[in-house]
Each structure stands twice: as C-alpha cells, then as structure tokens.
Structure 1
Amino acid sequence: MTITEDTKRIRGTLTPDWLRALHADFAGDAAARLAMNAVTRTSVDEVAVDRGRLLGVQLSMSNRLDNWDAADQKRSGRCWLFAALNLLRADARKKLGVKNFEFSQNHAMYWDKLERANFFLEDMIAVAGSAADERIPMFLLGNVLDDGGQWNMEVAVFEKHGVVPKSLMPETESSSNTSRMNASLRTLLRKGARRLRDAAAAGAHDGALDELKQAILRDTHRVLTIHLGVPPQSFDWRWNDDDGAFHDGGTLTPREFLDEYTEIALGDYVCLVDDPRAEHPKGRALTVAHLGNVVGGDPVLYLNTDADTMKRIAAQAIVAGEPVWFGCDVDPQMEASQGIWAADLIDYSAVYGVDLSTTKEERVRYGDSAMTHAMLFTGVDLVDGAPRRWRVENSWGTEKFDKGFCTMDDSWFDEYVFEVVVRKDRLPAELRAALTHVPIVLDPWDPMGALA
C-alpha cells in the first residue's frame, strides 16, 4: 500500500488509513528495514560514523601546550569555570613549579551562586511592575541559578572574590552533583521573588525591598554554605614544588593569591563570537539583556566576527604559549569514545534516508544549536600557517578520550564553535575600535545568551 490521494491525512489529523500507509511504505523499504535492524541493536552514532574520516583525524599537533592532567567537573554544569581556572592555572603551574596544580572550582561556584542570587533578586525588583506571566519575568523565573555562565561572568567573580588552591576549598558532594542543591536554591529564590513582588505591589519603599532582599539572601547563604562549605577569607600558603623544595607564600587573601600566582590580566581579554545571523553584523559588539551574575560587574560583551578571524587569533595565542578559552555546541558530530570532532564525521542522513543537513545560521535561528559547553584549546596543528586540527582540554576527567583531552578537526570549528576569548591587543584595529561603540542589546532569550 502506498500513500495516495485517498489515504492522505485530513488537515490537522493523523487518520488510520494514512498511518497504515506509512507502515506499509516502511515495510517495503529494504534500506529502512536494514537501518532499523542496525540501530535497534547498536548506537546510531556507531552505525553512522564515517570510519575513514575518524581515522583521518590524527592526534599529533605542531604546537601543543598541555603536559598536565585534565580536571573533572563531574555531575555539574561548571565547564565555564573549569575552563577559565584551567587557563589561570597555566600561569600558576609555572610560578609554583607544580605540574598538576588546580584552583578550587568549588570556591568559584560558591561565589557565583551567591552573587547570581543577588543579581536575580535585583532583576525581580526591577521588573516588579510587570505581570509574572509576562515574557521577561517568566524567562528569569525559568532560568534561576543555572550552573553555566559566560566569560565576563567568571571575570566578575575572580576580580571580586579571587581564587584559592583546591586543597583549601575542595569538592563536596553537592559541588560535584549540583542538582539537589540547585533545586532547593531555586525554590527559595522563586519564593523570594514572589515576596518581593508582593511587597512592591503593596507600595513598599526601596529601603524595605532591600531589607527583604537581604533576608532572602541570608537564607540563600545558609543553604549554599551547608552544601559547599565556608570559603576561606585568608589563608597561610605553603607548598612543596615538584622538585621537593619547600616554599612559604605567607598569609594571603583569595584576591591576593590571584594577583600573586597568575599573570593573566583578566580585563585585557574579550570574547569573540560567531553569530551567523545577518541582522547582527560582523564587527559589532553585542550584549544580552539581564545576563550576568555580579551586580556592578562588567556586562557580558561579545564582539561578533567570522570564524576565520577567531581561528587566526586563537592560533596566534597558542603559538605564543597561551591556552585559549572557548565555547561551543559540544554534542554534534562527536565520536564520544575517543573525543574526536569533525563536521562530517557522523552521517545520520545516510542512515535515515532523510536529509538532515542545515547551516550554522539555520541551526541558531531555529533552536537547533547554541553554546552548551566551554573548554580550553591547548594545541593547534598548523600547515603552512593554517589550522588543520585543534587539541582541547575538556573537564570530564582523565578516564575519557586521550587522558581527558580531545581532538577537533578544523572543519568542526566553523560549524559548532561559537566563541573564543583572546587578548584585546591581538585584535585587528577595526575590532578594537568596535569595543568603544554601544553594543547591540539582544533579548534575554536570544541564542547568544546561552550559558556554556
């Protein structure tokens, strides 16, 4: 039986005749039956992977920086913080003479969560005149205290609260598995949002609203500290380097530790993005409304540019010995056992007999792709000055991939990398000039506001 005029569905319904015709057509399609037999027994990625393409992505790099162990974010969404702290530790390792030094990711998350709670409550006061079911309040209430973030958000945390060695604020059960803690904090903050809105509607003055906000934050601080522990305000820092030599760093605050053991000037960096939509011109600065964590911190700022410019500047940094923080849509076209990406690595269209090809712009515009993960470029393979592949430090532990490191074919960069963080002095003059212009403000729900 085939689908004919007699068996077409009535508009808006799936009629029994039409469904029977679908099943009959499938039963008569040998390629579809073969694909079903394969995919019902084996992962579709294993069926669809191009083995020749996979083997063609070699692991060697003409420029490689990493000789340390990869970190592990475990069951949390802290990749953006891990990637930034991995960038900072590249400096700290040299100064400390310790190969596998790590900063405390728990410490960074603690301050991000508390600051972000305050940011959210300030937003709730600012939009108190809008109905709770209007789009902006609904969006903010639906995205309370997520684990993810963006470059300017971590800079705001580090510049205000500093960093500490991992040994001084180690992982807890909740820092490694954030779901239960986040659920409690979201309930607390949404309840707080209702209290603030009710008080504003009743005519409470600014001082009363601030007192109420502080009471909500005291409860937030209590819950957060129960889950993550107490962050050190100062500490005695002594360590043995990898040669066994003892060092006494004295008593330091977290902010002093950041200044003493890293040389990266966080304010000298900017986030380049590849927003492929024509209404957001290349060479323009972009920002996202209501996106941030530290009240009074610098807003999230992007410079929109093309992928080739991003690659060129990122490769220059790596050749100069600097790892590069970047954000991407991590899942598409990834061979998960070896940690290899290539734009044409997995051919789902061939398995299904259905055309699934899309452009980067189409994926962004229709919700099929956005920034989902942040990592660190630690190597690049250059041929006649052009990148062929990239080495990536992930934050999923050392048991996966090449001891936690992945390999990205350059084709994947074009399709699925959205942002890289580079020093402003590496930018061409026209992009540096764009930093002085008023940025285009994107809606809170814009895809460029996705949290890595």
Structure 2
Amino acid sequence: MSNGADTKRNRGILTPEQLRQWDEELASDPAARLAMNAVTRTAIDEVALDRERLLNVPLSMSHRLDNWEASDQKRSGRCWLFAALNLLRSDARKKLNVKNFEFSQNHAMYWDKIERANYFLEDMIGLAETAPDDRVTMFLLGNVLDDGGQWNMEVAVFEKHGVVPKALMPETESSSNTSRMNDSLRTLLRKGARLLREAVAAGQTEAEVTALKQSILRDAHRVLTIHLGVPPQNFEWRWNDDDTFHEGGNFTPQSFLAEFTDITLSDYVCLIDDPRAEHPKGRGYTVAHLGNVVGGDPVLYLNTDTDTMKRLAAETIVAGEPVWFGCDVDPQMESKQGVWSANLIDYSAVYGVDLATTKEDRVRYGDSAMTHAMLFTGVDLVDSTPRRWRVENSWGIEKFDKGFCTMDDSWFDEYVFEVVVHKDRLPAELREALTATPTALDPWDPMGALA
C-alpha cells in the first residue's frame, strides 16, 4: 500500500531535472528569446497586436445614432446602470431638445443597493435552516452587494423608483469609487445574516425575525445615505435647450421617467447566446437567487443564436434606437483606439503556445462570461449584413474615440453574450418561449455573471 501511495505522490512532484530541461529548451529557441526580449520591455498586447487586422477595422458606420458625450462610471462596477440610463437618455434628449443630458447614475445605484440589501436578507431568512457550509448560502455570502447587475434588475429599480436628472443627485466620492462603501455594507449584511440565522435557530416568531431584518436594513440605509446622499422624492425641473427656456414643473422620479422617455422598459427582453450544448436554443432561462427588488420580475433570458441577436440589434439601430448589450469586454481589445476584433492580439504566436479555444469551452471552464454592459449606438451594414458596430462605453471621453469604440462583427460572435430588444421584434419561436416556464440555473452558473 505504501509503495503505491509513494508512487502516486512522486508522480506529481515538479523535479529540478524537469525545470532544467525546460530552461535549456527555452534558451535554445531563438523565437522564445526574441519574444522574451520584447515582452520584458513592452506590453504584451503591443507585441502581439496584429496591426494589419487593426487597420482593417475602419471606424465608419452606415448607421450611427450618437452625437452626445460618453459617460464615465469611474472606479465602480455600474456599467449595467450606465448602459440602461444611456439608452433612456437617448430618448430624453429628444424630448428635452438638448445635446448632452444625463440621468443620475448615483440615484439608480442608491436604490439598487438598498433593494439588493433587502433581497439578500430575505434570502438569508429563507436559507436560515441550511447548514453553515451550504453551497448556496456560502455563494450568496461571498457575492453580496456587488456593483454589477442584469437588465431585469435595472427595470425593477426604474419602475419602482424612477429616475432623476444627474444635477439633482450628482456623483459622490463613493458613487465613483465604491470599494470602501461596499466593504462596510458587506460587513453589515454578513453580520445581519448571522443574526437572522441565530434568531431562526432560537425559534423567534416571524414577526420578530422581520423586525430584526428591518433594523439591519435601517443601518444599511444609514450607511448608504452617508456615502451617496439623500435621493430626491419631489423636485422642480426647469431647463434651457438651444433656443428656449422651459418651465417644466414639479415631478417625482417616477413621473419624470414617464414624462421624458417613451421607452416602456417592461416591453424589452434579454436575448443570450449560451453556447453550451445542454442549454438548447429557443428556451427561456433564469438564475436562482439573482435579483434585487423583492416582488420584481425575475431575471429572464431567451437563449438564441448570435445571428438572430445581430439581426434584431441592427434592426433596432436602423429604426433609431440604441441597444443595451453585455459582453466579456477585455479579450482581443486594442485599448488605445478602442477596437475589438477576433484574433486581433495573437498571444499564441508570441508565446509559441496554442491558446486557441471555443466560446463554449471558455464559458464552461470559467475563461469567459458577460462581465460588462454597454450600448450599441451604430452599425455598419452591407446588404443588411453587419460588418462592425459602434459602441458607447462608460469609461469617460478621454479614451478611445471620445469614449466610443468600434467592434468588428467577428468579435460579436466570440465575446458578446446578450442583447436587449423589444418583444415585438422577436421571431415566433422566441415569443412562444416567453410564455413557457424558464429553466432555473444554479446561482453560480456563468450566465449569472453580473455585467
């Protein structure tokens, strides 16, 4: 028995002889030495960049909507809220007759955070009798109150709490740099989870447990308001457009949303490309425990192919409306000009190591997920077929083309995971999927990633 165990243990040891052999192989390889000389002095993306491919992605678009300034999420993970508010402001600008206008992203985050704290505590009450190391409970504790989110979550916030002009609830230090605020809130809520579990274990009544939850939420509200300020409930709005002064009137956040946008958010649906074979196309999916507003609509995805996603997104842009989408933003991006293209950066050639993989394998093995949301504001079509896409990012006007990027259509296939379109544009089979009960994915499923 001991000989077998020793053999198995020895088989896993990294020996000096192996390391010496690899050093000798590397030293005798001129391409490896050249790559090392380059990469130790220059950023790998510059060395690996396919410049000819970069030049073959021009910035022109046959259909372009944006004539406004890009927004800036700064050091926060609010891209999903920025993208949605950028969609809404494309409508509001027309009604206000102004070029540049922004809704308050701070206001949207404030209400998402307090609602998400309540959602989390309700989950903790529901899971209070699970074992301390229950996988769902531990996952939720490890991911409490992240900045990111998904389309249905922002719809739930806007429908309940409305929107306000940015001037009425501007950015604060913490809205632009959320880490310390989030740390404090996470500590508070994890402590609250412990107290709620202990209360349930002690046999406290439902009313007593609810009162405890409310006291925890009161403290979360206090912390959040100290960091972000007090959201306006009623306000006067008057403005100047290029020609005229407008009295506007008195509004609530909800009435302001209704007055200055015509977009009915609940009429939109999120299409995803989940490439895994066990998740058939044409089906609806949701993610267990993913949400923010208790009582709001659950997250819903309709799984389809990228060709359908592209066609519906392009139709929407041609009709004059930008498109919210989610992607894995980092791979294959030239960061100076803001250009994405499949195989734009050839790491394999620099290393002499095969790094090629498929979208399905990247999702399955944790190498890719929908971690960033942006807005399509243009598309270049040839015979109704898209060649490239114009993208409004939320990283400020100093980067890229004054904050806007260009996506080659090849990148869409590999790294775009979701687009949001109006229900009326769906083909018949996807409309049918809307009425079926969606398949619930585990909380840790890659499709539960937060943009």
- TM superposition score category, shorter chain reference: over 0.9
Give 1:131 shift: 1.4
Equivalence map 1:365-380=2 (5 Å): 365-380=364-379
Aligned length: 443
The superposition leaves residues 169-212 of structure 1 with CA deviations (integer Å, 9 ceiling, x where unpaired) of 00000000000000000000000000000111111111111000
Equivalence map 1:341-360=2 (5 Å): 341-360=340-359
Q: What's the TM-score once normalised by structure 1's chain length?
A: 0.97
Q: Could you tell me which residue of structure 2 aligns to residue 398 of structure 1? A: 397
Taking the aligned partners of 2:138 and 2:184, their CA distance within structure 1 comes to 19
Which amino acid is 1:231 matched to?
P
Equivalence map 1:1-400=2 (5 Å): 10-243=10-243, 245-400=244-399
Taking the aligned partners of 2:229 and 2:132, their CA distance within structure 1 comes to 34
Give 1:132 shift: 2.0
Taking the aligned partners of 1:310 and 1:389, their CA distance within structure 2 comes to 14
User: SS of 1:377's equivalent?
Assistant: strand
User: SS of 1:279's equivalent?
Assistant: coil
Taking the aligned partners of 2:18 and 2:279, their CA distance within structure 1 comes to 43
Which amino acid is 2:401 matched to?
D
The superposition leaves residues 54-81 of structure 1 with CA deviations (integer Å, 9 ceiling, x where unpaired) of 0110000000000000000000000000
User: SS of 1:281's equivalent?
Assistant: coil
Taking the aligned partners of 2:206 and 2:310, their CA distance within structure 1 comes to 48
Identical pairs, percent: 81
User: SS of 1:124's equivalent?
Assistant: helix
Taking the aligned partners of 1:231 and 1:416, their CA distance within structure 2 comes to 36
Q: Could you tell me which residue of structure 2 aligns to residue 5 of structure 1? A: none
Q: Could you tell me which residue of structure 1 aligns to residue 4 of structure 2? A: none
Q: Could you tell me which residue of structure 2 aligns to residue 3 of structure 1? A: none
Taking the aligned partners of 1:408 and 1:438, their CA distance within structure 2 comes to 34
Bigger mean CA offset, 26-35 vs 72-81: 26-35
Where does the alignment leave 5 or more consecutive residues of structure 1 unmatched?
Answer: 1-8
The superposition leaves residues 133-170 of structure 1 with CA deviations (integer Å, 9 ceiling, x where unpaired) of 11000000000100000000000000000000000000
User: SS of 1:418's equivalent?
Assistant: strand
Taking the aligned partners of 1:11 and 1:402, their CA distance within structure 2 comes to 54
Which amino acid is 1:358 matched to?
T
Which amino acid is 1:118 matched to?
N
Taking the aligned partners of 2:360 and 2:241, their CA distance within structure 1 comes to 49
Give 1:98 shift: 1.0
Bigger mean CA offset, 156-165 vs 30-39: 30-39
User: SS of 2:436's equivalent?
Assistant: coil
User: SS of 2:247's equivalent?
Assistant: strand
Where do 4+ consecutive residues of structure 1 move more than 2 Å?
none
Taking the aligned partners of 1:409 and 1:314, their CA distance within structure 2 comes to 15
Taking the aligned partners of 2:242 and 2:228, their CA distance within structure 1 comes to 30
Which amino acid is 2:357 matched to?
T
Give 1:10 shift: 4.3
Q: Could you tell me which residue of structure 2 aligns to residue 420 of structure 1? A: 419
Taking the aligned partners of 1:108 and 1:314, their CA distance within structure 2 comes to 25
Which amino acid is 1:74 matched to?
K
Which amino acid is 2:398 matched to?
E
Give 1:264 shift: 0.2
Which amino acid is 1:175 matched to?
S
Give 1:249 shift: 1.5
Which amino acid is 2:339 matched to?
I
User: SS of 1:435's equivalent?
Assistant: helix
Which amino acid is 1:83 matched to?
A
Which amino acid is 1:259 matched to?
A
User: SS of 1:364's equivalent?
Assistant: helix
Give 1:237 shift: 0.8
Q: Could you tell me which residue of structure 1 aligns to residue 3 of structure 2? A: none
The superposition leaves residues 379-433 of structure 1 with CA deviations (integer Å, 9 ceiling, x where unpaired) of 0000111000000000000000000000000000000000000000000011011
Note the aligned Cα RMSD (angstroms). 0.7
Give 1:242 shift: 2.2
Taking the aligned partners of 1:266 and 1:248, their CA distance within structure 2 comes to 27
Q: What's the TM-score once normalised by structure 2's chain length?
A: 0.98
Taking the aligned partners of 1:26 and 1:53, their CA distance within structure 2 comes to 29
User: SS of 1:42's equivalent?
Assistant: coil
Which amino acid is 2:155 matched to?
V
Which amino acid is 1:207 matched to?
A
User: SS of 2:435's equivalent?
Assistant: coil
Where does the alignment leave 5 or more consecutive residues of structure 2 unmatched?
Answer: 1-8
Q: Could you tell me which residue of structure 1 aligns to residue 6 of structure 2? A: none
The superposition leaves residues 214-258 of structure 1 with CA deviations (integer Å, 9 ceiling, x where unpaired) of 000000000000000000001011111122x11112111000000
Taking the aligned partners of 1:306 and 1:10, their CA distance within structure 2 comes to 47
Taking the aligned partners of 1:407 and 1:40, their CA distance within structure 2 comes to 29
Which amino acid is 1:14 matched to?
L
User: SS of 1:81's equivalent?
Assistant: helix
The superposition leaves residues 336-365 of structure 1 with CA deviations (integer Å, 9 ceiling, x where unpaired) of 111000011010000000000000000000
Which amino acid is 1:12 matched to?
G
Taking the aligned partners of 1:36 and 1:378, their CA distance within structure 2 comes to 40
The superposition leaves residues 289-312 of structure 1 with CA deviations (integer Å, 9 ceiling, x where unpaired) of 000000000000000000000000
